[in-house]
Amino acid sequence: MSQATILFLIIAAFTGLSAVAVLVSQNIVRSAVWLLFTLAGTSGVFFLLGADFVAATQLLIYVGGILVLVVFGVMLTAQGPFITMKVGAAEWVIASVVGLLLLGVLVMSMPGPEAFGSSEAAPANAQVSSSTQLGETFLGLPGAMPEANVSGLPKTATAVPRTRVSYLLPFEIVSVHLLVVLIGAAYLARAKRRKGGLP
Partner 1 sequence: MSEVSLDHYLVLGAVLFVCGALCMAMKRNAIGVLMGVELVLNGANINFVAFARYNPVFRLEGQVFALFVIVMAAAEAAIALAIVLNFYNNHMTVDVDTAEELKG
Residues 5-44 that bind partner 1 (CB under 8 A): 5, 8, 12, 15-16, 19-20, 22-23, 28, 31-32, 35, 38-39, 42
CA-wise closest residue to 136 among 144, 124, 128, 127:
144
Rounded to a whole number of angstroms, the minimum distance from the CB of residue 177 to partner 1 is 6
Nearer to partner 1, 85 or 156 (CB): 85
Helix (H, G, I), strand (E, B) or coil at 152: coil
CA-wise closest residue to 35 among 2, 69, 67, 78:
67
Nearer to partner 1, 156 or 175 (CB): 175
Contact 45, 12 (CB under 8 A): yes
Rounded to a whole number of angstroms, the minimum distance from the CB of residue 156 to partner 1 is 19
* Cα–Cα distance for residue pair 75/64, rounded to 1 Å: 17
Nearer to partner 1, 109 or 156 (CB): 109
Per CB under 8 A, 1 contacts partner 1: yes
End-to-end CA distance of the chain, in Å? 65
Count of positions on this chain that bind partner 1 (CB under 8 A):
88
107: buried, middle or exposed (CB in 10 Å: 19+, 13-18, 0-12)?
Answer: exposed
Site for partner 1 in 96-155 (CB under 8 A): 98-99, 102-103, 106-107, 110-111, 113, 116, 118-119, 121-123, 126-127, 129, 133-134, 137-138, 144-146, 148-151
Report CA torsion sign: 112, 118, 121, 122.
negative
Rounded to a whole number of angstroms, the minimum distance from the CB of residue 89 to partner 1 is 12
Site for partner 1 in 74-93 (CB under 8 A): 74, 76-77, 82, 85, 87, 91
